[in-house]
């Protein structure tokens, strides 16, 4: 199958699901004119004009509207552009959508997908999009029971996980990475990728496991290439979905390597790495030969422009964390 840009892959997934199910609708800003503010739904309004709706600049309002539509049996896809904007509609994401199935005693399924660009392009050395447009928010919502969180990086994963998210009976926060919007990759399958058990080993290794979240996957792979030249074999695991987190794939890798480094772009304090480390401590303790290491963003607000680069991890940081882990296991 031909290569596909990430935004085209997401749009393809939405069109496939809209063709299969008349209840799927799209809501957001600039949907009709440009296929969403980030063009991640390009082509969708032309093909399904009667089920695509432009919304006013009022995320708090139209996200709650989407919850109501889901309660009535619709399957809304809400495009928010930047993940930072989820803070504006946090009431819908925290107090409404995840709780309605329980509050209705199981009578209402909330098939709702909130789509947004996570993180920033400063990771790759480009001028960032600013303090309120470049944040990684997965850690904010990891503490919300009833809300699932998908974090694909590659186009094929985005396509398959988007299809599964639209079909899911629970609300899904679908976070693609801002820096991967222009990424072109092989799409060998257009089939849905189940949200459960979604973890994938993207590079085999024997010495250290690196669980890399989203934008850190290519960075971890680059670090692994460098370390291979020094005789260190790194296994890289891409969780792809954080809730539900695929513990078994991580555990199998840690059983093999005995060491674990977790890396993500968001600040280290309160980040998803702490949750993953806790799982490792509780369920992999006997397999670990060294303490778990976290390699994540600095505990500081995202800086504007090119300064964003200095607040997030890079290959040399992951390399250092891996070497510290190896040295720790030798003591």
Q: How far is residue 331's CA from residue 329's CA, in Å, rounded to a whole number? A: 6
The list of the chain residues with pLDDT below 70 reads: 1, 329-331
148-150 vs 241-243, strand pairing mode: antiparallel
120-171 pLDDT, tens digit per residue, is 988 888 888 888 889 999 999 999 999 999 999 999 999 999 999 999 999 9
Reported as half-sphere exposure (CB side, CA atoms, 13 A), residue 53 has a value of 16
Q: How far is residue 190's CA from residue 1's CA, in Å, rounded to a whole number? A: 10
pTM: 0.96
* Backbone Cα Rg of the chain: 20
Asked whether this chain's domains 3-186 and 200-330 adopt the same fold, the reply is yes
Domain boundaries, the chain: 3-186, 200-330
Q: How far is residue 321's CA from residue 117's CA, in Å, rounded to a whole number? A: 27
The conformation of residue 292, written as its DSSP 8-state character, comes to: -
Phi/psi region, residue 54 (left: phi>0; alpha: psi -120 to 50; beta: rest), is beta
Place of tokens 């190896």: 326
Looking at residue 331, its pLDDT comes to 46
Contact 44, 52 (CB under 8 A): yes
Contact 40, 9 (CB under 8 A): no
Looking at residue 146, its pLDDT comes to 96
Looking at residue 128, its pLDDT comes to 83
Beta strands in the chain (DSSP E): 3-5, 24-28, 52-54, 75-82, 113-118, 148-150, 172-177, 184-186, 200-203, 208-212, 234-238, 241-243, 260-267, 293-297
Q: What is the DSSP string of 226-250?
A: HHHTTT--EEEEE-SEEETT-HHHH
Terminal CA-CA length for the chain: 49
47-77 pLDDT, tens digit per residue, is 999 999 999 999 999 999 999 999 999 999 9
CATH no. for 3-186:
3.40.50.970
Looking at residue 211, its pLDDT comes to 98
Topology adopted by domain 200-330: Rossmann fold (3.40.50)
Please give, one letter per residue, the 3-state secondary structure of 304-326. Answer: CHHHHHHHCCCHHHHHHHHHHHH
Contact 76, 135 (CB under 8 A): no
Reported as half-sphere exposure (CB side, CA atoms, 13 A), residue 302 has a value of 27
Sign of the dihedral defined by the CA atoms of residues 234, 235, 239, 242, in that order: negative
Q: Name the nearest CA neighbour of 211 among 187, 241, 179.
A: 241
């Amino acid at each position: 199958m031909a290569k596909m840009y990430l935004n085209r892959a997401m749009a393809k997934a939405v069109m496939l699901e809209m063709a299969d199910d008349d209840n799927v609708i799209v809501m957001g800003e600039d949907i009709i004119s440009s296929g969403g503010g980030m063009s991640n739904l390009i082509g969708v309004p032309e093909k399904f004009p009667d089920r695509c709706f432009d919304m006013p600049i009022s995320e708090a309002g139209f996200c709650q509207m989407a919850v109501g539509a889901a309660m009535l049996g619709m399957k809304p896809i809400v495009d928010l552009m930047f993940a930072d904007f989820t803070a504006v509609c946090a009431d819908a994401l925290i107090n409404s959508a995840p709780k309605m199935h329980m509050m209705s005693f199981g009578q209402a399924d909330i098939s709702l997908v909130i789509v947004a660009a996570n993180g920033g392009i400063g990771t790759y050395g480009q001028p960032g999009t600013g303090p309120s447009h470049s944040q990684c928010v997965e850690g904010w919502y990891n503490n919300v029971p009833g809300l699932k969180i998908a974090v694909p990086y590659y186009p094929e994963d985005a396509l398959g996980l988007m299809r599964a998210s639209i079909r899911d009976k629970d609300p899904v926060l679908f976070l693609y990475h801002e820096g991967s919007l222009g990424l072109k990759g092989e799409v060998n399958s257009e089939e849905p990728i189940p949200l459960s058990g979604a973890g994938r080993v993207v590079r085999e290794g024997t010495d250290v496991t690196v669980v890399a979240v989203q934008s850190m996957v290519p960075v971890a792979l680059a670090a692994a290439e460098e370390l291979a030249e020094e005789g260190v074999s790194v296994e890289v695991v891409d969780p792809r979905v954080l809730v539900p987190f695929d513990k078994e794939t991580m555990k199998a890798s840690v059983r093999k390597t005995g060491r674990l480094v977790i890396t993500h772009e968001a600040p280290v304090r309160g980040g998803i790495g702490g949750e993953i480390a806790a799982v490792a401590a509780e369920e992999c303790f006997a397999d670990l030969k060294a303490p778990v290491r976290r390699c994540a963003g600095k505990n500081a607000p995202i800086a504007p422009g090119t300064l964003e680069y200095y607040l997030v991890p890079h290959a040399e940081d992951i390399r250092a964390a891996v070497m510290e882990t190896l040295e720790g296991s030798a003591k």
